[in-house]
Amino acid sequence: MRIRYVAKTDVGMKRTHNEDYFSLLEEEQLFIVCDGMGGHASGEVASKMAAESVTEFYKYSRNDKDATWPYKMDATKSYAENRLVCATRLANFKIFQSQATEVKFKGMGTTIVSIQVLGDTLLMAHVGDSRGYRCREGKFEQVTVDHSLLEEYKQAKKGITEEELANFPHKNVITRALGMREQVQVDIQKVKVEPGDLYLLCSDGLSGMITDPGMEKLINEESNLEKLITNLINTANENGGTDNITCIILKFEK
């Protein structure tokens, strides 16, 4: 299948610098969005470090199939799944080590969401609340599950109302991110791709400013990917733009 894709990042309306970072490794069809945290520019360091660490591991393991990996393979996962998980875990360790040994980086971390395309399937991995979405035949849905207190609250309290969600006091607290601990659990899933599918990777600067129905409407109204990504970011800014906004859009065609 042919893939068309676009990527864009924007500082938003309230921030003075951009702590988001995206990366594209075309030869591996690998797409990454990171949303750094920590302040004083250290979030910016963490997000870039994560994306670069993942891509460096892919280059390293691609050129030497017998290369030693820093983590054991999980026998329940495929080689490709292990590769993406291992790369993400290594990025976590590098950030943890940096913020633990350098005072200026103390407390820094980043969320990450990534896609690797493998023919007619894709792998989607994430840590934190940066999200992966799919739009198939006009239906838009979230593929990832946020690692956040809000998501845990939703899971614990079934049938929660929109008003309760809006009033939840800890909605921005994430429970998992790269750099928080020496080890990290990476959620990964394998997804079958169909012609016409559109996938969106984004930081919460987008998903926090536009509702899922709002994003679905914008996606179904615009087929030009360059215009679509601009419309998404502009709408997030019009709705307040309280955070940095980053997204990658992939469109699959015959």
Q: How many domains does the chain have?
A: 1
Distance CA 181, CA 85 (A): 16
pLDDT, tens only, 170-189: 877 999 999 999 999 999 99
Structural domain including 157 reads: 2-253
Instruction: Identify the CA nearest to 27 among candidates 114, 117, 113, 89.
Output: 117
- What CATH number should be reported for the domain holding residue 89? 3.60.40.10
The pTM for the full model equals: 0.95
Distance CA 33, CA 25 (A): 12
pLDDT, tens only, 230-239: 999 999 999 9
Residue 152 has what pLDDT?
87
Higher pLDDT, 235 or 101: 235
Burial class (CB in 10 A: 0-12, 13-18, 19+), 189: middle
Distance CA 98, CA 207 (A): 29
Distance CA 85, CA 71 (A): 9
